[in-house]
Chains A and B, each alone.
Chain A
Amino acid sequence: MTATETQPSRATRSVNLKVLGPILALVVLVIVGAALNGNFLSAANITNVLSRSAFIGIIAVGMTFVITAGGLDLSVGSMAAFIAGLMILVMNAMLPTMGPGWPLVFVGMLTAMVAGTLAGFVNGFLITTMRIEAFIVTLGTMGIYRSLVTWLADGGTLSLDFGMRSVIRPIYFDGILGISWPIIVFALVAIIGELVMRRAAFGRHAAAVGSNDQVARYSSVNVNRVRMLTYVFLGILVGVATIMYVPRLGSASPSTGVLWELEAIAAVIIGGTMLKGGFGRVWGTVIGVLILSLIDNILNLTDGVSPYLNGAIQGVIIILAVILQRDKKAES
């Protein structure tokens, strides 16, 4: 962070701003939060904020790859709601035969992972093989999954059987050494995502496809396969996020996961990934997610700012992030 205090040349200063901008914003938010409320830095509050960031965070890591490869997925929020509903229905249905216990939790987890993989595959298939615009495909599946969960829930709420709830509850609320499971899983997903993006061939291929798919094709990159895999990975991560989400309240309803897709996309863009594709930054996405949840948290911990303005503050931050991004693009 000392880099900002030096006075580099004009070009590098913009680049540094772009790299450091999200981190600076996060640091400023933490300082503001700590100044406004003494409990802000308490272990309980930090655990709360990190745990609740995990759902969007895990999804946003997958979204980083999709956007880097030049795609977009609007269906993830509805998909999460649908998978959560499915997971609850399957566990409730198997409860009489299997009884409450960890085997049944694994069945639920397996359901979520398989459903997520399939849902990602369907998106990927329609986009790559059927050559339909990602925006249109995922707008369609967004509506489909939202309707399906409403239909499954008969308009109401799907609730996990009470006996099962105490068994599954520790997945959200417990952890190792005081760090809760959602935080651990989020951290693992983020680290693996960062490594794949930086070190693995898949990450470079995704960036190449997003940057220019013709050039990538001539460079013998299997463009369709890379695109397909980004959607399948995102689907799997939606499944993982759902596994973290269901234990929290043990229920899914038509209002589950509303606007998660936009929060995930916003976090990805705040983090410095190009919306047009070609460049992705997983750690930036993590910072983006934390910034968005900290804004909510700070507004809840303080008086004086109307909660009606929460969305406006988030909007300003997203637009600022995109302005920084445009500067870099103009120079390159």
Chain B
Amino acid sequence: MKFTKITAAALAATLAMPVFAQDTKVIGVSIPAATHGWAGGMNFHAQQAVDRLEKVYPELDFVLATASDPAKQVNDIEDMLATRNISALVVLPFESEPLTSPVKAVADSGAWVTVVDRGLAQPGIEDLYVAGDNPGFGKVSGEYMVSAMPDGGDIVVFRGIPTTIDNERVEGFENAIDGSGINILAMEHGNWNRDDSFTVMQDFLSKYDKIDAVWASDDDMAIGVLAAIEQSGRDDIKFVLGGAGMKEMVAKVRDGDPMIPADVTYPPSMIATAIELTAVGLTSTAPVSGTFTIGSVLITSENAADFYYEDSPF
């Protein structure tokens, strides 16, 4: 993951097959099923990218498989290797550990491997790693909090499903607000879920008489938090900061909702970046191996219109 520059050797490995071969190459895309909003957006962007690239590159064929659990994803990848003779695999692993050896088998077969978002347990298997920046996501969120509360204040923090992603984000956030006078009253897992966050926020409102702001850390959780605040009728909470870039929340930022003054991106469309780069790697001489980090960007009312995708489900 340290190599962002391509070498001639890596390029040769990339294009193991002759560049000008006219026979069709198959790119396998294996992603988790749309079980929550972000994954739904990711599925949407994967499908869009595949549809677009099939038109652009007649010599490429795509197999898109969605899996509802890690075991199913392993089967999908084994099937792709055995029956579709894939030249490249784009995979967003459900979980790092169980997917490592099947993806390694694909890499050992000589196919190109692009890993998205969640890294594998063993480094060096993938040719290209496309990922969001989780510590950066926390850092951008924390810096916004500091700028929005120059005199400090009391906040509550919502965490996602207990995972490395969540830990990295929270750590980045805590580092960013360190020494700013912002005090975290409590942190609780809302599991990136509206209903869970609604009940947790209700309980936070019962527990604390004064909360200045909420780091919901996710737009789905922010929706639950907003509903609980509205129900309580309290006006001590100045704003709620979500994250990810759900279109409803981006619309609120764009329209100047005082409770949602900003949002921080963690774009599900990163799967499209991965598929596009893989297609470029298979069809051209342009080097694409290495690590491609997609930074988290602060959305405010000035730039919100650029982050609003009308057709996306997320």
Inter-subunit contact B36/A255 (CB<8 Å): yes
Judge whether B83 is part of the interface by a CB distance below 8 angstroms: no
Chain B 262-282, CB-CB to A under 8 Å as 1, else 0, gives 000000000000000000000
Question: How far is B204's CA from A307's CA once the two chains are assembled, in angstroms?
Answer: 14
**Complex contact A157–B37 (CB within 8 A):** yes
Q: A11: shortest Cβ distance to chain B, in Å?
A: 42
Q: Which residues of A contact B207 (CB under 8 A)?
A: 37, 39, 300-301
A173 contact set on B, CB distance < 8 A: 231
Chain A residues near B205: list those with CB within 8 A: 44
Query: Given A253-B37, A254-B35, A301-B206, does the pair A156, B44 have CB atoms closer than 8 Å?
Result: yes
Nearest A residue (CB) for B159: A307
Q: Which of B136-144, B173-181, B189-197 sits within the interface? A: B189-197
| Partner of B41 from A150, A156, A303 at Cβ < 8 Å | A156
Which A residues touch B312, using CB under 8 A?
156
Q: How far is the CB of B294 from chain A (nearest CB, A)?
A: 20
CA distance A75 to B292 in the complex (A): 42
Tell me if B162 is interfacial: C-beta within 8 Å of chain A. Answer: yes
Min CB distance B68 to A, Å, is 9
A153 touches B203 (CB 8 A): no
- With a cutoff of 8 Å between Cβ atoms, the chain A residues found around residue B36 in the complex are 253-255
Cβ-defined contact, B199 with A251, below 8 A: no
Residue of A nearest to B226 (CB): A249
Is A52 touching B40 in the complex (CB atoms < 8 A)? no
Per-position 1/0 for A11-39, Cβ under 8 A of B: 00000000000000000000000000101
A256 neighbours in B (Cβ, 8 Å): 195
B contact residues around A327 at 8 Å (CB): none
Please name all residues of chain A whose beta carbon is closer than 8 Å to the beta carbon of B145 when the two chains form the complex: none
- Complex interface: chain B residues within 8 A of A45 (CB): 203, 206
> Is A249's CB under 8 angstroms from B40's CB?
no
Cβ A154 vs Cβ B206 within 8 A: no
Central interface residue in A153, A253, A296, A303, by most chain B CB within 10 Å: A253
Q: Are B204's CB and A249's CB within 8 A?
A: no
User: Contact: A159 with B248, CB < 8 Å?
Assistant: yes
Task: Give the residues in chain B near A315, CB-CB below 8 Å.
Answer: none
Contact between chains at B162 and A308 (CB < 8 Å) = yes
Contacts of A39 in B (CB 8 A): 206-207
Q: Write out the residue numbers on chain B whose beta carbons fall within 8 Å of the beta carbon of A44.
A: 205-206, 232
Interface size class of B (residues with CB under 8 A): 35 or more
Question: Do residues A296 and B34 form an inter-chain contact, with CB atoms below 8 A?
Answer: no
Does A42 lie at the interface of the complex (its beta carbon under 8 Å from any beta carbon of B)?
Answer: yes
**Does any Cβ of B come within 8 Å of A155's Cβ?**
yes
For A155, give its contact among B40, B198, B206 (CB under 8 Å): B40
Cα(A23)–Cα(B195), bound, Å: 28
Q: Is the CB of A156 within 8 A of B314?
A: yes
Question: Is B227 in the interface zone, CB < 8 Å from A?
Answer: yes
Does B291 reach chain A (CB closer than 8 Å)? no
- Are B248 and A42 interface neighbours, CB within 8 A? no
Q: Are A48 and B313 in contact (CB under 8 A)?
A: no
**Closest B-chain residue to A45, C-beta based?**
B206
Interface residues of A in 41-88 (CB under 8 A from B): 42, 44-45, 48, 52
Per a CB cutoff under 8 Å, which of A52, A155, A308 touches B44?
Answer: A155
Tell me the bound Cα distance from A154 to B162 in angstroms.
26
Is A48 within 8 A of B206, CB to CB?
A: yes
Q: How many angstroms from the CA of A211 to the CA of B220 in the assembled complex?
A: 45
**Complex interface: chain A residues within 8 A of B28 (CB):** none
What 0/1 readout, one digit per residue, does chain B (10-46) give for beta carbons within 8 Å of chain A? Answer: 0000000000000000000000011111011101100
Our pick among A155, A254, A301 for the contact of B203 (Cβ within 8 Å) is A301
B interface residue numbers (CB < 8 A to A): 33-37, 39-41, 43-44, 162, 186, 188-189, 193-195, 198-200, 202-207, 220, 223-224, 227, 231-232, 248, 312-314
Which A-B residue pairs are the 9 nearest by beta carbons?
A: A155-B34, A156-B313, A155-B40, A300-B203, A156-B40, A45-B206, A154-B313, A39-B206, A48-B202
